[in-house]
Amino acid sequence: MIIALERYWADYGCVLMQPYHTELAAGTMNPNTFLRCLGPKPWNVAYVEPVIRPLDGRYGENPFRFQHYFQYQVVLKPAPENVLDLYWASLEALGIDLRRHDMRLVEDDWEQPTLGAWGLGWEVWCDGMEITQWTYFQQLGGFDVELVPAEMTYGLERLAMFLQGKRTAFELEWARGVTWGDVYREAEREWSRYNFEEAPVEVLTRRFDEYEAECRHLLERGLSLPAYDQVLKCSHTFNLLDARGAISVTERAAYIGRVRRLARGVAEAYLGADEEDAVAAA
Amino acid sequence: MPSLLLEIGCEELPAAACREAEAQLPELARAHVGAAASQLFVGPRRIGFLVDDLPERTADEWVKGPPENLRERAAAGFAKKHGVSVEELEVRDGFLGVTVPGRELREVLPEQIDRIVRGFSFTKSMRWDASGMRFARPVRWVLAMLDAETILGETSFGHRFTHGPVEIPNAAAYADQLRAADVEPVADERRRQIVEGLDVVGGWRDPGGKLAEVVHLVEKPIVLESRFDERFLQLPERVVVTTMQSHQRYFPIEGNRFALVANGGEADVVAAGHTQVLEARLEDATFTFERDVATGIDALAERLGSITFFAAAGSFAEKADRVAKLARRLGGGEASLEAARLAKADQASELVREFPELEGYIGAEYARLAGYPDAVTKAVEEQYLPDSAGGPLPQTEPGKVLAAADKLDTLRVAFELGHRPSGSRDPYGLRRAAIGLVRLALEGGLTIDRELLPEDVREFVEERLESLLNVPVEYVRAARASTASDLGAVARRAEELYGERESPEFEGVYTAFDRAHRLAGKAQEAAAAELDRGLLVEDAEKALAEALAKVAIDGNGDLKAALQSGAELAPVMERFFDEVLVMAEDEAVRANRLRLLLDVRDTLGALGDFSQIPR
């Protein structure tokens, strides 16, 4: 399935990337989406992203919720006029006969307050199953996008359940004779214990402050890419603290505000660097 | 005269945007092509209209220029601006001017249509390309036809997956051509087809009101029926129904049956797919439900300390404490207090986080499963009632007490934080809470002490009485100023005052109050602080003081008796005004007489502020 998507989007002309190297709660947070979607340069990219959402773990007991799963992320910037047709054709490339099924685009607007980002779009339904989140970004890091990108985020487990006719992710055939459950269930159990019970609150609280300080320091030095990694680490640390129940509601808004300010700072620095490049090129 | 077809082809519009477009289309047509649309087309992928009998030319237009007496100074400039010579200018009513001839329809239509397309205003809109245009979702084509002539665009497009471009031979044939391409462009017709399909299946329900949205989720509605695995019937029914409606927009039928509206595909494949998705959702709901039950309502209640009620108003745990105190002051017994402790526990449950509309209901269910008695669980379930102006009230006593305490607390806290509703903005539902509170007193018979309401909240709540009681507002306002001690008593007082308005006793009290109020009401500062019997000189004023001391008025008691007692003052007052000069020379005597009159007014005023009632 992943190979089919890679081939399809590579043929279209996307840069194929590999997953990012630190924990992300969504493929959108990968700098290949978040940062590259800022500024005036066109950019087409596709990659698999394992997403980590500590709060969503259920100890491997609930076959529909996990703290770790996979997205296939495609970004076309700017969105071409036939972008939806390109998307539908990608489903055909996966072997889905669009005429046999009930395919629908159901309003689903996207907002990520920690990144100061929002967009309008849909969830794509295939016989009622949400297989893709589809978004036209409007703002990232608090800045209006210059070229409106289309983001397509395929939910790989859901898509696989649909293609394989399986009722739960546990039963998915990951390789011949090997199920998703064989591969990931124990990890779900252990990580849920870590996320909910063992993650060290004091250490994490301190780390959040350290990542934040480092981000500011790096921004002063004009290093937007390393600074962005600190934003991602802050975000994940916040998610872990949240899962540990260590953040009260009032603190919660404050933490989100801190991450958002960092993300804005990075976006600003990145756009500044972008402009300098443009000037240099001219 | 020709017919005009306009079709704006979009990527799938949200239902809310479709409704906004539907509301704006007629006016846009009138404003920009100057005619009423004979038919509207509104759906997820296209918005448009048909206008019949459009004039071939737009009307000639008279453009008024400078006054004739300024001909020498201004005529040349005006003529040049309109591309005519000075000699061609006409004179009407003392003004120079020019008749701009109407233009060919074909010539003006492209601009007019552009103005229509750009004229929509959506609550949420977006940009999608370098043109910078904004719309609810990207516009991908515009087709305009004048009878058989194409003005803009080339073709329409049929159903996304079964048909490609669709040639439209002429404007009037548009709808039929699309119907042949698996698209029903008329929203009302899609609604009719959906309802007809659901009626064939029979027994469908739509408690979440999803039909209006579903109409705009499909271009070719296909109603299918299916069944989910019976084991999910063990879940509380509302959980099943909410899962079905809130995520999937399905329509529940009894038992394990449900109906869905698809946009295409092979019926059995589509129904099987949707059923599998629903079962997965129900499975997930089962997990969530069982986890909540395993945690238990008491443990959930203990977690409320970390959940905010609303910003700056503390946690739900604090709210629960306040509600319990109010419940006690509202005369609630053990069941109400227990219910108050558990009422908000479901805010900590996973199921309510997922489905906020289950609040109350699911808390009651968890309390029931934990073995709490019916009186408690019922109260938890009824706490949000009445949830609309005409909605049902709680049926149980503890339910009424809890519902009133909850609303009282919300009102008190919101007002304290300055969240008073203004205009149509009422984000915390305070009007609904106030109406609910008043109805609990009036229809529910609950005694809600007015002292429980801080002054601004009391004003706000009692203003609701004015529209809820079938009594002229002046009587309600009069009663609000009475010493009646609870909301229900205020309402009864207003009704009784209105009922007695023609009786001689009412007349007597009214006149006594009125005369005292007119004379002394504005001289409050000149009046003595207390009546000094030693300063009473005249017989008539002594008689009034004596009569006043005998008047027995109980602000909460029987109005008839109180009026009778009060009316005894009438003849004594009359004599007083005949024989006594209130504004006496001696300042102390004058102050004392003013005090006597104010005492008359205030004693009678316990029944209400009669000055509010016009005569």
**CATH number of the domain that residue B456 is part of:** 1.10.3210
Pull the structure tokens for residue B511: 């006149």
B40 and B156 share a domain? yes
Q: What is the mean pLDDT of chain A?
A: 93
Q: Does B359 touch chain A (CB under 8 A)?
A: no
Judge whether residue A126 has pLDDT over 70. yes
Q: Do B151 and B86 have their domain in common?
A: no
Residue A244 has a pLDDT of 86
Q: What is the pLDDT of residues A161-186, one digit of tens each?
A: 999 988 888 899 988 899 999 999 99
**B141 and B15 within one domain:** yes
Q: What's the whole-number average pLDDT of chain B? A: 92
Question: Does residue B213 sit in the same domain as residue B305?
Answer: no
In order, the DSSP letters of A169-197 are: GGG-EEETTEEHHHHHHHHHHHHHHIIII
| Residue B494 belongs to a domain | no
Give the A window 105-164 contacts with B, CB below 8 Å.
Answer: 105-107, 109, 119-120, 122, 126-129, 136, 138, 147-148, 161-162
Check whether residue B128 and residue B229 sit in a common domain. no
Of A133, A157, A130, A113, nearest in space to A254 by CA: A113
- Is the pLDDT confidence value at A275 over 70? no
Q: Which SS3 state, helix, strand or coil, does residue B44 take?
A: coil
What pLDDT is attached to residue B1? 86
Q: Identify the closest residue of chain A to B139 by CA–CA distance.
A: A81
Instruction: Say yes or no: B249 and B363 in one domain.
Output: no
The count of CB pairs under 8 A between chains A and B is 109
Q: Could you tell me if B170 and B310 lie in one domain?
A: no
Domains of chain A: 2-195 (3.30.930.10), 200-281 (1.20.58.180)
Report residues of chain B scoring pLDDT below 70.
Answer: 310-311
A13-51 confidence digits (pLDDT tens): 999 999 999 999 999 999 999 999 999 999 999 999 999
Q: What is the pLDDT of residue B126?
A: 96
Q: Judge if B337 and B451 occupy the same domain.
A: yes
Domain that holds residue B229: 187-293
* B264 has a chain A CB within 8 A of its CB: yes
User: In this structure, are B204 and B167 located in the same domain?
Assistant: no
CB contact under 8 A, A64 and B127: no
- Per CB-CB distance under 8 Å, the chain A contacts of B140 are 81
Model confidence pLDDT, tens digit, residues A49-102: 999 999 999 898 887 789 999 999 999 999 999 999 999 999 999 999 999 999
Sign of CA dihedral B146, B149, B152, B155: positive
Whole-model pTM?
0.82
Q: B477 lies in a domain?
A: no
Are residues A103 and B124, on separate chains, in Cβ contact within 8 Å? no
Q: Which of B78, B100, B122 is the last residue of a domain?
A: B100
Cβ–Cβ under 8 Å, residues B409 and B336:
no
Give the closest of A99, A119, A127 to B161, CB-based. Answer: A99
In terms of domains, do B369 and B392 share one? yes
Distance from A18 to chain B by nearest Cα, in Å?
28
| Helices B569-579 and B504-520, axial angle in degrees (round to 10) | 40
- CA torsion B201-B204-B210-B211 (nearest 10°) is 50
> B226 and B280: one domain?
yes
Mean pLDDT of A266-271: 94
Residue B485 lies in a domain: no
Q: Is residue B578 part of a domain?
A: yes
3-state secondary structure of A49: strand
Torsion-angle region of residue B395: left (phi > 0), alpha (psi -120 to 50) or beta? alpha
Rounded Cα–Cα distance for residues B496 and B556 (Å): 12
Amino acid at site A223: L
Query: Which of B249, B274, B293 lies at the terminal end of a domain, its last residue?
Result: B293
Same domain assignment for residues B124 and B9: yes
Is residue A100 within 8 angstroms of chain B, CB to CB?
A: yes
Residue B258 lies in a domain: yes
User: Rounded to an integer, what distance in angstroms lies between the CA atom of residue B516 and that of residue B535?
Assistant: 19
Return the pLDDT at A280: 58
- Please give the average per-residue pLDDT across A124-139, as a whole number: 96
Domain stops at, among B247, B274, B293? B293
Enclosing H/E stretch for B456: helix B455-468
Token pair, residue B345, equals: 């526990």
Q: What are the φ and ψ backbone dihedral angles of A272, each rounded to 5 degrees?
A: -60, -45
Contact call for residues A95 and A163 (beta carbons, < 8 A): yes
Residue B496 lies in a domain: no
Chain-chain contact of A102 with B265 (C-beta, under 8 angstroms): yes
**What confidence score (pLDDT) does residue A168 get?**
84
CATH assignment of the domain containing B543: 1.10.730
Whether residue B481 is contained in a domain is answered as no
Distance in angstroms (rounded) separating the CA atoms of residues A117 and A138: 8
Q: Return the closest-CA partner of residue B10 out of B43, B49, B57.
A: B43
User: For residue B490, is it within any domain?
Assistant: no
Percent of chain B that is helix, strand, coil (3-state, to 5): 55, 10, 35
What's the pLDDT at A274?
Answer: 64
Residue B303 is predicted with a pLDDT of 87
* Bridge partners (DSSP) listed for residue B223: B261
Read off the tokens for A125: 């339904």
∠ Cα B95 B100 B106 (to 5°): 160
Has residue A282 got a pLDDT over 60? no
Which amino acid is it at A230? Answer: Q
Give chain B positions within 8 Å (CB) of A100: 265-266, 269
Mean pLDDT of A110-130: 94
The number of domains in chain B is: 5
Question: Are A12 and A82 in contact, with CB atoms under 8 Å apart?
Answer: no
> Which residues fall within 8 angstroms of residue B26, CB to CB, at 6 or more apart?
B36, B37, B40, B49
Helix/strand number for chain A, H first, E second: 8, 11
Which chain B residue shows the shortest CA-CA distance from A251? B306
